[in-house]
Structure 1
Amino acid sequence: MPRLAAPLTESQIRALEPRAARYSVADGNGLVIEVMTTGTKVWRFRYSLNGKRQPLATIGDYRMISLRVARAKAQRYAELVAQGISPVATARRDRGAEAKAEVLREAAELYMATEMAGKSDEYRRTTRRALDKDVLPAIGSMRVKAVTAEHVVAICDAIKSRGSPKMALHTRNVIKRLYEYLIARQLATANPAEVVPARSIATFESRTRVLSGEEIGTMLHSIETSSIRRPLKMALHLLVLTMVRKSDLVEATWDEFDLDRALWRISAARLHGDTDRIVYLPRQAVAMLQELHRTRASRTFVFPSVRGDDRPIAKSTLNQAVKALGLEVEHFVLHDFRRTASAHLREMIEHAQRDKTSAQTRQSESRGKPEGDPAEQRQIAQQWADFVDAELDAARKRAVGAG
């Protein structure tokens, strides 16, 4: 009995490197991918008729045909062979518009199976939802090059009519990234979404951008399930919990922390101010810092450079990590963490201090952090961390439910 091939994955296919001679790797059910000496990867179908091995039938170029589609074609060809029919003529006809991803639905499938394979689960899920719910029903049957800006506007307007301007903007950006991918592979010549201004769909001024509780949870879950380094995941999470500036965190040194007392003292010199700043750490932040301390690669810095010299990571590192994730939250910058925390804390502080003088409350709110005795500051810091934890847990449950 012939040995069954272990099914391939997109990541395995992408990792196949050219050799001195071309070679093939089997996926199963007659489907193989042939790697040419040039690096080009071509889907083939291996079969026998009347007990004799036949020449491989060509399905098409891997860059233009996803693994899922190649398997579907191989299954169809296997059914022809079972009837004693050669699949060669059918395969030749298939290598037309559909096989070249000239139809948007096929192009979107190729995009999801290849370009999106390395993205976070949450990002792939929201992209797939936008495509399946609004994009493909409207223009999925159209040729890639036939889609115009008017089609994109019509899709966004339909979403806005449901009262979802943010989703409309997200969907426009999904189309834009899809076409960037297709242009790079010479499957499209123009990007119809690029000429549709984001401000014409939904506008978020950077000075007022505040993430909702659900967005906080979604973002942290995307970070949590991503492939970025664990210390960077915790750095981004700590930015949310501690509400400090990015530079305050990435340049933090171990001698600033008293984890037994859950305190972080940032010196006035480092702040370029007159007084030290005391940050009261919630238990979630303490747990992360304890983990970082156990696995520390530097005696000095909490987030040392991976280059091995005794200096912190670059200030741009966290921005680059967020950008690489391709998070679904539009018009987001890291400073929005502080603004978001400040906005949510205002509500908490108003509730906790409603019996205090309005002057005290205004002073507390204007700084975006609680003022008063240490016990009160600790309570508010812990309340904020618990709120963030609850939103993250909700995002995890949404991901499980949608899976």
Structure 2
Amino acid sequence: MATKSNSLELVIRNAKGVKGETNVISCGAGLELWVTINQSGQTAKKWNLRYTDAAGKRQKARIGSYPELSLAKARAGAEDLKANAKSGVNVAKAKAREKLPQVQSTRTFEAVATAWLQKKMPEWDDAHAKRQKERLVGNIFPAFGDVAINDLTMEHIDNALAVVIARGARETAQRICSIVINVFEYADLMGFVENPVIINRLTRYRKEMPKPVTKRHLYKEMSEAEIGALLRALEESKGRWTLQTSVALRLAPYVLLRPIEICEAEWAEIDMNAAEWCIPAARMKMARDHIVPLSRQARELLLEIRPFTGANKYVFPSPRKHDAPISTASMLQAIRRIGYASTKEEGNSFCTHGFRGMASTTLNQHPAFQHLKEDWIEFQLATSKRIESEAYNILTPRSYIEERRVMVQSYADYLDDLRERVKAGEL
């Protein structure tokens, strides 16, 4: 005669899932088998236990899957779990730790930091994730990555950051310190840190770190003759570079965008009929949608390259990898090849980001543009100054669009005039 246990085993073995439903088979003492249909369309059977913890609160925990865990083993595991719960063990935290065996077994700083990275990376864009990982791999892991997280001292961390500070990268050192604090906070949350006081010490330490040196300006003020000479050089040297680099570089003065925003331009963003370039927030530094009204000169440059790259996703595809855009380095190298040094140096110097500084300085200070409002200029530059200072002053990507359209056309004509006057020897 079949026993009750054998009958239950048979029911469990033959149970079939129904799409959209959860069939619960009660196995006694709070143990349940949940039968469902998984994403692959197959029957899935999961063991769950309802129990009471040491504080008298009702809890639920997943034990495992059937048939990997038989009825007998599930019952034994359930009894062990309930015994631990009654003795005050936090079962949920214990189960979470089981999912990180590589961290549990070693718990070196590198192991914990790697687990933290894996948890955070889905929240970050690719570029930020790469930078965070490089800061750890290049600066921290070689210094104390193999040290157990509970054996780390402030001296370990101070010595590692001192190397970064010594090479002049004070801002990077502060960012690395913030990463270390984040890793320790994650470790504390997971129950790995025996003495969380180090987190408070690290926070105080970061406040006392050497402050970053004031950032150098990416643009040195240029006279009208110098601006005209630069634009003339770009025009006369356009055959020295690839078409993509040539057009991107000549477009930069007219659109007031950051180099990366130009290089990664997509044809889907550009409306030739409306003469507008609509850049999504994901591509903008300020993470806001941005519309650039195109001057006649900017539109002509885009029409120049469209027959060659119009079938591509990118306006400026890489000559080597057509599924990727050109890099900002290609624009910077072109500037260097026509005789312009880094802005760190004296004399004839410029960088591609300097086109924005040139526009800001000219539009704010030149007598011909004194009628312009600062809001129009900052909005066009898409800078952090573009703040809604009043509750009812709601700004959208199309704010000041007509004023900005006139502004960029006037500025483009001004630049062309400087270039032609240099050619004619008038400047």
Which TM-score applies when normalising by structure 2?
0.41
Looking at CA atoms only, which structure, 1 or 2, has the larger radius of gyration?
2
Alignment TM-score, normalising by the size of structure 1: 0.43
Higher relative contact order (CA 8 A, sep 6+): 1
